[in-house]
């Protein structure tokens, strides 16, 4: 979460970070920069959004509440299928993580696992899941953001409503380079759109923080054991058990565990 928050505001001041992102989205970055300097926009926007940490103060609880969803009993959901030609391997295809789409949450869609079925109808599965933690926590933040801003299609949209991008735009126009304009050919509608686009850019930076070349590698290792229910041909069609493992980022590791349950899907309706 800290990595995502730091990436969200690389300027260490949320108003400046937002203006930097808006400037990068502008059709005329040079005119934007000139008006920003002349009109003291950084100070003006800081006042408009409510302080130097306004964005991070909104996002931080969403990240924490979203991350808590990953501790739910059914945090990881997916399908397990046999690997052709190998009775000791199986494919795990993740569908969701903490309720969010697994791919959007930073997990590759498919993992090759070790698999063992024993004569006593017990089974064992082992896998190391590579993931991008920043994408996981930002994906899971959508639920808490929607709880605060009903119907928000994304976290940047929720932020745009709470920070009042419309007010940010009016602030820039009031301190702009000409009457009714923040800068040449950019009125309040243009400025509000840039505010929203800037928040999208900042959120993308937060989501991709763990994908940076210098970011440490993160993995979730899983070792599951379970009792299987088998058919007349001794083929498992369900199992119930537990798993233990470790969540590791760089040299830091924390033990994790949970329930492991599976059942063969029924025929399509």
Looking at the structure, tell me whether residues 195 and 233 fall in a common domain.
no
36 beta partners: none
Looking at the structure, tell me whether residues 82 and 207 fall in a common domain.
no
Looking at the structure, tell me whether residues 61 and 143 fall in a common domain.
yes
Provide the pLDDT confidence category of residue 159 given band limits of 50, 70 and 90. very high
Compute the Cα dihedral for 187, 39, 162, 106 and give only its sign: positive
Nearest to 134 by CA among 66, 219, 208: 208
Looking at the structure, tell me whether residues 203 and 235 fall in a common domain.
no
| pTM, 2 dp | 0.89
Looking at the structure, tell me whether residues 53 and 144 fall in a common domain.
yes
Looking at the structure, tell me whether residues 54 and 149 fall in a common domain.
yes
Residue 180 lies in a domain: yes
**Which of 171, 192, 211 delimits the end of a domain?**
211
Q: How many domains does the chain have?
A: 2
Write out the residue range of the structural domain in which residue 125 sits: 76-132+216-263
Looking at the structure, tell me whether residues 205 and 174 fall in a common domain.
yes
pLDDT of residue 269: 58
Write the pLDDT tens digit of every residue in 176-204. Answer: 999 999 999 999 999 999 999 999 999 99
Looking at the structure, tell me whether residues 143 and 187 fall in a common domain.
yes
Q: Which region among 80-89, 136-145, 183-192 has the lowest average model confidence (pLDDT)?
A: 80-89
């Amino acid at each position: 979460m800290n990595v995502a928050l730091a990436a969200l505001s690389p300027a260490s001041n949320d108003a400046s970070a937002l203006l930097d992102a808006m400037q990068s989205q502008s059709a005329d970055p040079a005119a934007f920069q000139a008006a920003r300097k002349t009109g003291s926009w950084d100070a003006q926007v800081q006042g408009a959004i409510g302080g130097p940490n306004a964005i991070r103060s909104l996002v931080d609880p969403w990240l924490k509440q979203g991350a808590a969803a990953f501790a739910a009993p059914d945090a990881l959901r997916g399908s397990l299928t046999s690997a052709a030609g190998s009775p000791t391997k199986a494919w795990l295809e993740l569908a969701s993580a903490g309720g969010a789409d697994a791919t959007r949450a930073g997990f590759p869609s498919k993992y090759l696992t070790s698999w063992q079925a024993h004569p006593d109808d017990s089974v064992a599965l082992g896998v190391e899941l590579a993931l991008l933690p920043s994408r996981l926590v930002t994906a899971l933040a959508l639920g808490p953001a929607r709880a605060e801003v009903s119907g928000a299609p994304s976290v940047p949209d929720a932020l745009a409503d709470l920070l009042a991008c419309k007010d940010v735009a009016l602030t820039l126009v009031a301190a702009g380079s000409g009457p009714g304009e923040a800068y040449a050919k950019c009125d309040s509608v243009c400025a509000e759109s840039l505010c929203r686009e800037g928040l999208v850019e900042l959120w993308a930076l937060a989501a991709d923080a763990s994908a940076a070349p210098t970011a440490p590698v993160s993995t979730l290792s899983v070792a599951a054991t379970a009792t299987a229910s088998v058919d007349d041909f001794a083929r498992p069609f369900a199992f119930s058990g537990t798993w233990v493992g470790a969540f590791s980022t760089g040299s830091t590791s924390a033990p994790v565990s949970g329930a492991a349950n599976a059942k063969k899907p029924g025929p399509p309706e």
